[in-house]
Structure 1
Amino acid sequence: MCGIVGLFDTRGHKPISESLLEQMNSTQYHRGPDGAGVHIEPGVGLGHRRLSIIDIASGHQPLFNEDNSVVVTYNGEIYNFIELMEELKNCGHTFKTRCDTEVIVHAWEEWGERCVDHFRGMFAFAIWDRNRQQLFLARDRLGIKPLFYTLLDDGCVAFSSELKALKCLPNIDRTLDPTAIEDYFSLGYVPEPKTIYQQVKKLNPGHSLLVDRKVDNSLPAFMPEPKQYWDLHCQPSEHKSEADLQEELVERIREAVKIRMIAEVPLGAFLSGGVDSGTVVAMMAELSDSPVNTCSIGFDVNRFDETEYAQMVAKRYETHHFEGNVASDDFALVDQLAELYDEPYADSSAIPTYRVCELARKKVTVALSGDGGDEHLAGYRRYRWHMNEERLRSKLPLGIRRGVFGPLGRLYPKADWAPRVFRAKTTFEALARSSVEAYFHTVGLTTAQQREELFSDNFKRDLQGYRTQDLFELYAQKAPTDDPLTMIQYIDTKTYLVGDILTKVDRASMAHALEVRVPLLDHKLVDWISGVSPALKLNGQCGKYLLKKAMEPYLPNDVLYRPKMGFAVPLADWFRGPLKPLLKQRLLGGLMADCGYFNLTFIETLINQHQMRVRDHSTLIWTLFMFEAFMRSEAQLGTPVHQSEIRAVPA
């Protein structure tokens, strides 16, 4: 796993500053402490930080073809590189290394833009082809590896693995995007393809970008639209018995795990005590001649601790098991997280994720994880809630439901303290919404009413009517399915999986120079699962039904069928205890008061109600807390943070 950066003059052969390129590269030292390389020629500069995993002796980058006309800088792993190497040799290509990086160079020569169709793995890379005068950027199908890019005012395209590298550019416009701020306070992250900055984008998963150098440099710089090369098919698979599907699922997972166990460095796995990580460890143990290294993080608060279940799996497969512990007052990372993620990010499980990566790196350089199982095999509780509500919604037209249940939802008292099944207000509100609107409300960190009260009038004018819900509606229209469960899984794949889960794991692992591989996000496996009947993913009230039944011979029932816990931290206690003195200081003064985005009276009410235990506002307070940490980080860079300096983006 590595870090990449680059600069490309789209209008000519402007000299590239080597010192600037190296400065950009050095900001990503943590992604690749084993080495660095840069290549500069007129109008082009490519940089690379290396974490050595495969072909340690000769896999240095940037890497060239035989005549040095094509060069690549690349972050990731191509798991089928051996087969591709043989195929390309048969096409007449000559290899100087035994690494997957060189496969990308020759695949580009052979297949051009369609080279990405041949790669199986996780990747973000940039290719410069001198003969064609083209820069080609690509990101893997599910967005496991990140790629940021921007077109600068001087006509240069800049790109990097992390946003912090682009912040080095003296001429970058770091004007904040109001719609990205709305997205952040809706979801807790800034979804692809946006970043918090108007001028910078993330390349969407399953997309590539081809930039030609213009012959006439008097023409204005222009950034072409990225092209989508892959999407989930969600097409029903051939009819098979449930037993046959269980067997096929295990075989497909085993194969996806097997190809991810190739490494020339110590390898292990995260073991949370859940079904997905347990499945990965079980397959690794079957495939390995030696005990698997496993790592778990525990909590000193019982309701958040899952280590006993991880120990069950570790004992069953006789792994070399290592445990760390997150104390209930482990909030020292708060400010560090703002530096780590480069833009506002409010998933508090980033803290234990950071700790488990820190622990794992002491033992291994590569770790396999179970990420992706919940999204594709329907493991989240919210899927059950949504489908229960969907059955009720399907009985009446939307117009009638809005007229009947809308007023009931407004009049019924709020009862956050009660079990969800008894929250009639929540149910009435859900029944008054469309399916996509209801799901957006379910996954949102805040309600539309809370954001209405949170944002200042000036900021709301700058939004020009934009709502994050529009993004969910867009993906619903694009989804290749009408099935309500498959639809929300598709939306999650495009939003939550890449914007929250994979972002969290990439930044936390790379902060420790740890490579994380995700076999349950193998694109062939994911595409096959997308065609499995929804009733075998969510069977009644049992999520991940097919996987759980398939894994019964491999994992204890207590692991398979216990309630899902998640990687939570005790935010509510923090804000009533050790972080209490900081809340009003940080959220009601300084940058939060000066920026003009917020209604401070509403924020003060949130804090008072929370600390007096009238309501639990910990999620929204944490979201504000992390935004303030981002703002302080920006202020240190000299970024404009005042309302008057935000440019509105058309909705």
Structure 2
Amino acid sequence: MCAIAGAPSKEDVVRMLELMRHRAPDDAGTFQDERFTMGMGRLKIIDLISNDLCPITHKGLTLTFNGEIYNYIDLREELKKIGHTFKTSSDTEVLLVAYIEWNEGCLDKLNGMFAFAVNDGQSIFLARDIAGEKPLYYSLNASGEFKFASEAKALGFACQELPPAHSARFHFDKKTLDIRKWWQFTPKERDIDFESALKELDTILADSVRLRTRSDVSYGLYFSGGIDSTLISTYHNFSNQFTYQDGDYQKEFREIFPKILWHLDYPVSTFSPFGLWKLAEEARSKNVKVVLSGEGADELFGGYVRYVPNEFNRLGRNKFPSYTKVFPHRDMLWEEFNGNMRELLRMGDRMASAWGVENRCPFLDRRIIEFAFTLPMSYKIRGLETKVILCELLKRRMPEYKFQEKHGLFCSVNKWLNAPDEGFDKTTYHEYQEKIWSTFKDM
């Protein structure tokens, strides 16, 4: 995990990196040319020795990069065969050389989570991963001044988010910004039998977990006891597992609430960030820098109760018989992936980065995303069953598993806020609400 920033002024970039120091506590640096300054802070996970990666320059190009390229070893071998050489063992250098060789076409070769920027002297190229695991914001004012950063606060909130699966290019001379969607994918069901689909998913998920446990530092698993995290645990023996337990966090919640808001940068519809904060805090206390989690499984494989027929009946399906025709499951899952999941990933990223921890999501491997959206819906939702194929895969990999309620991120916030006052002024809570609303209402 890293923090990246860019602006015409070096002083601005240094200031932005300092604001995002929590994301990248291990190393930081800048590179300035006559037009632009690129900055990068680093949380060392791969290649702990090299100190010349913040940012990295090669053949007249400068790269700042936040994320992980999981297939970087395979890409490095492919690039070596073409004639390229490497000075480090990092995925950062592989990404820059891949861009040099294939330009924007390198995006189709990447399996990873990423937000990066490349300065070629004439333009700044930005790109973001398919799911939006890694954040990227930019601003372009009326005078043509362009900036970018990993967090909105670094740009003073006067910015826009580059959407997931999109790239952008800012041209210095024209002072224009061109944005395009680089991942063109349309969900379309394919003809595949259940057993073949099960084997294919098993193979891809096993490799996804293998790639995400490739690290030069300690790693662990956010373990809820539910289907998703338990399934991940069957592919690797995690010595570090972290489970959130709701408890009497009244005083602690009140103390750290302002910190959580500061790190979030934006309003959310849940208090789950507190649970994520506690998980990341525990991971960091055990010197774990990388954690795997089950984000994406519900959105890709239909895990929410609102998808099942009895929920539709409770909501009045008899009165609205066309509900599922207007909102077919496939479209609902696609909207979940491009909507609700983005908020979940933002929360996960901000709370993990607050503690210098990187969150990795095996279910958001590009191969799994594209696999999931080509599956017949009956392999995901069948009657009252959700995540059908994941449940079956877990049963086969762990026959002794007893399906149970998972330990989610439930927080007793109402209880904590309405408890007898212990020096906590509720107006503080409402002031923060108003501050957030006034910041974002016109964006």
Query: What TM-score do you get using the length of structure 1 for normalisation?
Result: 0.63
For residues 428 and 87 of structure 1, the distance between their equivalents in structure 2, rounded to whole angstroms, comes to: 54
User: 2:3 maps to what in 1?
Assistant: 3
Distance change >3 Å, CA 584–CA 360, structure 1 → 2: closer
- 2:209/2:362 contact within 8 Å kept: yes
Map 1:512-527 to 2 at 5 A.
512-527=355-370
**Structure 1 position 360 matched with structure 2 position 313:** no
How far apart, in 2, do the equivalents of 1:134 and 1:159 lie? Answer: 13
- CA apart distance, 1:369: 0.9
- Could you say if the C-alpha distance between residues 211 and 430 of structure 1 is closer, same or farther in structure 2, counting changes exceeding 3 Å? farther
2:408 alignment partner in structure 1: 566
Give 1:572 deviation, angstroms. 3.1
* Matched-pair contact (CA < 8 Å) for 2:5–2:13: yes
- In the TM superposition, 1:174-323 aligns within 5 A as 199-214=158-173, 221-224=175-178, 226-240=179-193, 242-285=194-237, 292-300=239-247
- Residues 456-491 of structure 1 show CA distances to partners (whole Å, capped at 9, x for unaligned) of xxxxxxxxxxxxxxxxxxxxxxxxxxxx11101100
| Residue matched to 1:148 | 137
Contact conserved, 2:295 with 2:364, CA < 8 A, in 1?
yes
Question: Aligned residues, how many?
Answer: 439
The SS at the match of 1:532 is coil
TM-superposed CA distance for 1:535, in Å, is 0.8
SS of aligned partner of 2:243: strand
CA contact (8 A) 1:338 1:345 kept: no
What is the percentage of aligned positions where both structures have the same residue?
A: 30
Whether contact under 8 Å (2:168, 2:177) holds in the other structure is no
CA contact (8 A) 1:4 1:47 kept: yes
Alpha-carbon displacement from aligned partner over 1:39-58 (angstroms, at most 9, x marks no partner): 11111111111100111112
Find the residue that maps to 1:124 and give its secondary structure.
strand
Alpha-carbon contact 1:4-1:25 (below 8 Å) kept: yes
Unaligned ranges ≥5, structure 2: none
Instruction: Work out the CA distance in 1 between the residues paired with 2:239 and 2:104.
Output: 39
Letter in 2 for 1:164: K
Q: Is the 8 A contact 2:5 2:150 kept in 1?
A: yes
8 Å contact 1:208–1:229 — kept in the other structure?
A: yes
Pair 148,429 (structure 1): closer, same or farther in 2 beyond 3 Å = farther
**Contact 1:141 1:231 (8 Å CA) reproduced:** no
- The 1:579–1:94 alpha-carbon spacing in structure 2 relative to 1, beyond 3 Å, is farther
Q: Deviation string for 1:59-80 (max 9, x for gaps)?
A: 6221011x3x001000000011
Aligned pair partner of 1:530 in 363, 373, 386: 373
Q: Aligned AA for 2:166? A: H
Deviation at 1:579, TM superposition (A): 7.1
Query: Which secondary structure state, in structure 2, belongs to the residue aligned with residue 116 of structure 1?
Result: helix
Partner-residue secondary structure (3-state), 1:159:
strand
Find the partner of 2:433 among 623, 627, 637: 627
CA apart distance, 1:328: 5.5
Query: Which residue identity is paired with 2:368?
Result: L
In the alignment, the residues of structure 1 paired with residue 203 and residue 428 of structure 2 have an alpha-carbon distance, to the nearest angstrom, of 55
Given the superposition, is the C-alpha separation of residues 579 and 356 from structure 1 closer, same or farther in structure 2, using an over 3 Å criterion?
farther
Q: Is the 8 A contact 1:284 1:292 kept in 2?
A: no
In our comparison, the structure showing a higher alpha carbon Rg is 1
Given candidates 63, 73, 78, the residue that maps to 2:69 is 78
CA gap of 1:586–1:122, structure 2 versus 1, over 3 A, is: closer
Residue 81 of structure 2 is aligned to residue 90 of structure 1 = yes
RMSD: 2.6
Answer yes or no: is 1:383 the counterpart of 2:375: no
Q: Hey, what's the Cα distance between the residues in 1 that align with 2:37 and 2:123? A: 13
Q: Which amino acid aligns with 2:6?
A: G
- SS at the partner of 1:343? coil
**Per-residue deviation at 1:346?**
3.2
Tell me how far 1:365 sits from its aligned partner: 1.1
2:437 is the alignment partner of 1:548: no
**One-letter code aligned to 1:344:** P
